[in-house]
């Protein structure tokens, strides 16, 4: 267990370095990649441990080692993505734009890359890691492991709290956006109804004029004045309602902007680390938040 914990920590760190280098080459920016705040990507630690434990007996057969590595790492990445999405309602990475992908969690391109990386790890890197760990005094090593694992545990808790805060923020932003849409739709419906009513009153006015052509002009004028007064009253009421709705919408938009401007520990890093993150329930809110935060 002592050795496996060291291997896990070391490969989680190497995986983080790999992600940072890949992001720097791809985007030209240094980004703290990975789910956690610290310089570790646990999925790499678990992945390498799985490959070492299961495939070491066939390490001299490169074809079996490669095929097994592709299968193991793909399964790990698939279930990691699926579990994270189910747990937090976000799809943290998405390969749907790549050919031969499975639900966007894995794709052939990266599965083949992971297989190649595992060949390098098993045949070149792992012997060096084994030698490095063997030079560490066991008692000192246990203390170091305790410190590393404690820090990682705290990091996991802090990251989960950050994700939960993000979800609450997105929920409020989405709720305000829904209210704005609802009020806008209601206002459009009121305008439409009143417009139709005014048109109908106009039709009544024309009908009254036609009916009263042969009668006394005073009756026509009285009917005309009555209908015109009703139309003006309705216009005024409609105008007041529209202004009231507009004021509510302005306030909601201000509240939404304030909510978009709220930032907390870990939020910016998460959005930078997973630029392709997609929300299961709050797509529009997340897109607006990413645009607001990442452009700062």
Residues 99 and 113: their CA atoms lie apart, in Å, by: 14
pLDDT for the residue numbered 205: 55
Residues 195 and 122 in one domain: no
**Count of residues making up the chain:** 296
Q: Residue 48: count other Cβ atoms within 10 Å of its Cβ.
A: 27
Segment holding 279, helix H or strand E: strand 278-279
Residues 192 and 251 in one domain: yes
Structure tokens belonging to residue 166: 């993000």
DSSP 211: H
Query: Over 70: is that where the pLDDT of 267 sits?
Result: yes
Q: Mean pLDDT across the stretch 114-131?
A: 93
Residues 119 and 52 in one domain: yes
Structure tokens belonging to residue 245: 């709705």
Highest mean pLDDT among 3-17, 27-41, 214-228: 3-17
CB 46 within 8 A of CB 8: yes
Residues 42 and 77: their CA atoms lie apart, in Å, by: 11
Residues 118 and 176 in one domain: no
Residues 176 and 115 in one domain: no
Examine residue 226 and state whether it is found in any structural domain, yes or no.
yes
- Residue 106 forms beta bridges with which residues? 102
Residues 128 and 6 in one domain: yes
Residues 71 and 69: their CA atoms lie apart, in Å, by: 5
Burial of 35 (0-12, 13-18, 19+ CB in 10 A): buried
From 74, 109, 135, the end of a domain falls on 135
pLDDT for the residue numbered 188: 66
Residues 223 and 119 in one domain: no
CB 78 within 8 A of CB 102: yes
Query: Over 60: is that where the pLDDT of 162 sits?
Result: yes
Q: Mean pLDDT across the stretch 155-161?
A: 92
Among residues 274, 266, 77, the alpha carbon closest in space to that of 163 is found at 266
pLDDT for the residue numbered 148: 93
Residue 276: band (very low, low, confident or very high) from pLDDT cuts 50, 70, 90: confident
Q: b/e per residue, 105-128, with b = 16+ CB within 10 A? A: bbbeebbeebbebbeebbeebbee
Query: Over 60: is that where the pLDDT of 113 sits?
Result: yes
Examine residue 86 and state whether it is found in any structural domain, yes or no.
yes
Residues 118 and 179 in one domain: no
Examine residue 174 and state whether it is found in any structural domain, yes or no.
yes
Examine residue 151 and state whether it is found in any structural domain, yes or no.
no
pLDDT, greater one: 223 or 51: 51
pLDDT for the residue numbered 249: 78
Residues 128 and 7 in one domain: yes
pLDDT for the residue numbered 221: 54
Residues 20 and 95 in one domain: yes
Q: Mean pLDDT across the stretch 129-144?
A: 92
Q: pLDDT averaged over the chain?
A: 83
Q: What is the pTM of this model?
A: 0.79
In the chain, % of residues over pLDDT 90: 45
In tens, the pLDDT along 245-260 reads 777 777 777 877 777 7
Examine residue 82 and state whether it is found in any structural domain, yes or no.
yes
Query: Over 60: is that where the pLDDT of 199 sits?
Result: no
pLDDT for the residue numbered 50: 93
pLDDT for the residue numbered 214: 44
In tens, the pLDDT along 22-75 reads 888 877 777 888 889 989 999 999 999 999 999 988 888 999 999 999 999 999
Examine residue 97 and state whether it is found in any structural domain, yes or no.
yes
Q: Mean pLDDT across the stretch 121-141?
A: 92
Domain span at 48: 2-135
Query: How many angstroms separate the first and last alpha carbons of the chain?
Result: 45
Residues 129 and 39 in one domain: yes
Examine residue 154 and state whether it is found in any structural domain, yes or no.
no
Q: Mean pLDDT across the stretch 189-217?
A: 56
Least confident of 2-16, 91-105, 176-190, 263-277: 176-190
Residues 15 and 131 in one domain: yes
pLDDT for the residue numbered 230: 60
Examine residue 280 and state whether it is found in any structural domain, yes or no.
no
Number of domains observed in the structure of the chain: 2
pLDDT for the residue numbered 224: 53
């Amino acid at each position: 267990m002592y050795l496996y914990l060291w291997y896990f920590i070391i490969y989680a760190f190497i995986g983080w370095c790999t992600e940072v280098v890949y992001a720097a080459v791809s985007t030209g920016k240094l980004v703290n990649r990975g789910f956690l705040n610290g310089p570790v990507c646990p999925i790499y630690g678990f992945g390498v441990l799985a490959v070492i434990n299961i495939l070491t007996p066939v390490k001299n057969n490169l074809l079996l080692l490669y095929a097994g590595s592709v299968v193991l790492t793909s399964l790990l990445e698939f279930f990691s993505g699926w579990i994270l999405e189910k747990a937090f309602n976000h799809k943290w990475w998405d390969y749907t734009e790549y050919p031969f992908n499975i639900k966007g969690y894995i794709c052939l391109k990266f599965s083949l890359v992971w297989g190649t990386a595992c060949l390098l790890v098993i045949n070149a890197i792992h012997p060096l890691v084994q030698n490095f760990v063997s030079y560490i005094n066991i008692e000192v090593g246990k203390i170091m492991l305790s410190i590393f694992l404690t820090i990682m545990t705290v990091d996991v808790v802090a990251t989960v709290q950050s994700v939960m805060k993000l979800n609450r923020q997105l929920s409020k932003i989405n709720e305000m956006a829904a209210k704005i849409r609802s009020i806008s739709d209601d206002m459009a419906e009121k305008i439409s109804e009143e417009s139709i009513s005014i048109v109908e009153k106009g039709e009544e006015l024309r009908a009254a004029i036609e009916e009263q052509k042969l009668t006394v002009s005073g009756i026509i004028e009285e009917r005309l004045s009555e209908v015109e007064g009703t139309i003006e009253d309705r216009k005024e009421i409609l105008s007041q309602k529209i202004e009231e709705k507009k004021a509510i919408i302005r306030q909601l938009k201000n509240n939404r902007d304030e909510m978009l401007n709220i930032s907390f520990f870990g939020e910016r890093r998460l959005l930078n680390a997973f630029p392709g993150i997609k929300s299961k329930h709050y797509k529009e809110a997340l897109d607006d938040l990413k645009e607001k935060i990442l452009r700062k």
